């Protein structure tokens, strides 16, 4: 970028603990994380782009619900978490470390190694067996996205799956099981992620959770009326429960019907600006949804991550603000979950 601020912003970017809170992994096969290959996020691109840490998600697609399908979903989530855990190694002069706590993420930054934070997307993997939540936590998962596209046994999704027979609403938000799942997530120290849930589910999760909830990858409705985006009243709810919205790099969430090449970091920063103005700097963060649909013209992959910092610094965000946006707020939410765990 041709910008007089760029050298300072680049230096700041390198100094910050930067966390991208939602990154998919290829499954069942794909380039290894240590290969500088076709993935938007791999260890070499994180290193080049000054991205310190990433939440890598075991994503489970929604399918017709049956005990057998839920068993298969859980098996897939566990296998994917094992694959994410296998990223913790040294290769080609680069080291990635799987981290369990906010302190460990900060220590990784101090030690100059990249932090891998495992997570799970879609409570479908839980089925009706809440005991599975503790097993996902044992495999390192720090958050669970309650739904994906399509309602599951825990909650209504913001995107009902007509092909699976979904009506607009099935539970009117969280099911009884979903409320118990929120309590279990709190107990084991996992964060409740409301990125894909319906508005009623989001509100009820905020009320039910003993610890702050997060949307790990969403944008704001004021610029783009998409079911995945948050209305202003939802932002207010997030603030009231000390939660965070992690603005994400999905073109169609940033501008109506936009393709990736039509969107820039300026659009992304508009969403950050709105959320910060509405609910304050303590409740907003940054995510990409890379390798799961995220990415646009000047944030194509993890190697471009500094462009986000450059644009936000250009808009006046100082070091303290950038520290919070790039991970400080998310770390606070992780810590709150750890402290409330039983
Ligand atoms: Zn998602």
- Per-residue model confidence as pLDDT tens digits over 203-257: 999 999 999 999 999 999 999 999 999 999 999 999 999 999 999 999 999 999 9
User: Within a domain: residue 284?
Assistant: yes
Q: How far is the CA of 149 from the centre of ligand 1 (A)?
A: 8
pLDDT at 198: 98
**Beta strands of the chain (E only): which ranges?**
19-24, 53-59, 90-91, 94-98, 114-121, 143-145, 191-193, 214-218, 244-247, 284-286
Q: How far is the CA of 6 from the centre of ligand 1 (A)?
A: 31
User: Within a domain: residue 33?
Assistant: yes
Q: Which residues pair with 94 in a beta bridge?
A: 91
Mean pLDDT for the stretch of residues 121-140:
98
Q: How far is the CA of 14 from the centre of ligand 1 (A)?
A: 27
Task: Report pLDDT digits (tens) over 281-317.
Answer: 999 999 999 999 999 999 999 999 999 999 999 999 9
Q: How far is the CA of 4 from the centre of ligand 1 (A)?
A: 36
The total number of structural domains that make up the chain: 1
Task: Report pLDDT digits (tens) over 268-281.
Answer: 999 999 999 999 99
User: Within a domain: residue 309?
Assistant: yes
Q: How far is the CA of 208 from the centre of ligand 1 (A)?
A: 22
User: Within a domain: residue 1?
Assistant: no
Q: Is the pLDDT of residue 1 over 70?
A: no
Mean pLDDT for the stretch of residues 167-190:
98
The CATH number of the domain holding residue 189 is 3.20.20.140
Q: How far is the CA of 217 from the centre of ligand 1 (A)?
A: 7
User: Within a domain: residue 237?
Assistant: yes
Give the whole-angstrom CA distance, residue 2 versus residue 125.
Answer: 47
Give the whole-angstrom CA distance, residue 246 versus residue 142.
Answer: 15
Q: Which are the contacts of 31, defined by CB distance < 8 A and separation ≥ 6?
A: 37, 38, 39, 42
Task: Report pLDDT digits (tens) over 317-341.
Answer: 999 999 999 999 999 999 999 999 9
Contact between 312 and 325 (Cβ < 8 Å): yes
Q: How far is the CA of 218 from the centre of ligand 1 (A)?
A: 9
Burial class (CB in 10 A: 0-12, 13-18, 19+), 252: middle
User: Within a domain: residue 142?
Assistant: yes
Q: Is the pLDDT of residue 113 over 50?
A: yes
Q: How far is the CA of 11 from the centre of ligand 1 (A)?
A: 31
Q: How far is the CA of 111 from the centre of ligand 1 (A)?
A: 30
pLDDT at 7: 77
Q: How far is the CA of 235 from the centre of ligand 1 (A)?
A: 18
Contact between 214 and 193 (Cβ < 8 Å): yes
Q: Is the pLDDT of residue 176 over 50?
A: yes
Q: How far is the CA of 196 from the centre of ligand 1 (A)?
A: 7
Task: Report pLDDT digits (tens) over 21-70.
Answer: 999 999 999 999 999 999 999 999 999 999 999 999 999 999 999 999 99
User: Within a domain: residue 109?
Assistant: yes
pLDDT at 64: 97
pLDDT at 302: 98
Q: For 225, left (φ over 0), alpha (ψ -120 to 50), or beta?
A: beta
Q: How far is the CA of 309 from the centre of ligand 1 (A)?
A: 23
Contact between 205 and 174 (Cβ < 8 Å): yes
Alpha helices in 223-281 (DSSP H): 232-240, 251-254, 265-279
What is the SS3 assignment for 145?
strand
Of 247 and 5, the structure prediction assigns the larger pLDDT to 247
Q: Is the pLDDT of residue 4 over 70?
A: no
Q: Is the pLDDT of residue 75 over 80?
A: yes
Measured CA angle at 181 (ends 178, 184), to 5 deg: 160
pLDDT at 5: 60
Phi, then psi, of 56 in degrees rounded to 5: -100, 125
Q: How far is the CA of 186 from the centre of ligand 1 (A)?
A: 21
Q: How far is the CA of 121 from the centre of ligand 1 (A)?
A: 7
Give the whole-angstrom CA distance, residue 135 versus residue 338.
Answer: 16
Mean pLDDT for the stretch of residues 153-160:
98
Indicate the pTM of the whole model.
0.97
Structural domain of residue 111, as residue ranges? 6-340
Residue 2 pLDDT level (bands cut at 50, 70, 90): very low
Q: How far is the CA of 8 from the centre of ligand 1 (A)?
A: 33
- The DSSP code sequence of 38-89 is S-SS-HHHHHHHT--EEEEEEE-------HHHHHHHHHHHHHHHHHHHTT-S
Element (H, E) at 330: helix 329-340
Q: How far is the CA of 93 from the centre of ligand 1 (A)?
A: 32
Q: Is the pLDDT of residue 165 over 70?
A: yes
Q: How far is the CA of 143 from the centre of ligand 1 (A)?
A: 13
Q: How far is the CA of 2 from the centre of ligand 1 (A)?
A: 33
User: Within a domain: residue 224?
Assistant: yes
Q: How far is the CA of 169 from the centre of ligand 1 (A)?
A: 19
Contact between 311 and 286 (Cβ < 8 Å): no
């Amino acid at each position: 970028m041709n910008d007089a601020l760029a050298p300072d912003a680049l230096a700041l970017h390198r100094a910050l603990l930067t966390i991208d809170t939602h990154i998919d992994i290829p499954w069942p096969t794909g380039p290894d994380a240590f290969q500088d290959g076709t993935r938007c996020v791999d260890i070499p691109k994180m290193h080049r782009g000054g991205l310190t840490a990433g939440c890598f998600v075991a994503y489970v697609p929604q399918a017709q619900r049956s005990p057998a399908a839920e068993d298969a979903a859980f098996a897939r989530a566990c296998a994917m978490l094992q694959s994410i855990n296998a990223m913790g190694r040294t290769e080609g002069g680069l080291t990635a470390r799987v981290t369990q706590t906010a302190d460990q993420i900060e220590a990784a930054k101090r030690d100059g190694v990249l932090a891998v934070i495992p997570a799970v997307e879609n409570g479908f993997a839980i089925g009706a067996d809440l005991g599975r939540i503790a097993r996902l936590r044992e495999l390192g998962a720090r958050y669970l996205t309650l739904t994906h596209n399509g309602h599951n046994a825990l909650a209504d999704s913001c995107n009902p799956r007509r092909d699976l027979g979904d009506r607009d609403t099935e539970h009117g938000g969280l099911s009884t099981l979903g409320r118990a799942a929120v309590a279990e997530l709190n107990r084991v120290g996992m964060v409740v992620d409301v990125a894909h849930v319906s508005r009623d589910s989001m509100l009820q999760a905020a009320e039910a959770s003993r610890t702050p909830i997060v949307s790990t990858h969403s944008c704001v409705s004021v610029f783009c009326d998409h079911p995945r985006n948050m209305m202003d009243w939802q932002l207010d709810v997030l603030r009231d429960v000390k939660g965070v919205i992690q603005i994400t790099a999905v073109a169609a969430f940033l501008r109506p019907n936009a393709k990736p090449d039509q969107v820039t970091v300026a659009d992304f920063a508009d969403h950050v600006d709105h959320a910060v103005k509405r609910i304050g700097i303590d409740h907003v963060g940054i995510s990409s949804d890379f390798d799961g649909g995220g990415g646009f013209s000047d944030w194509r992959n993890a190697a471009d991550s500094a462009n986000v910092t450059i644009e936000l610094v250009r808009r006046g965000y100082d070091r303290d603000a950038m520290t919070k946006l790039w991970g400080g707020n998310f770390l606070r939410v992780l810590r709150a979950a750890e402290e409330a765990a039983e």
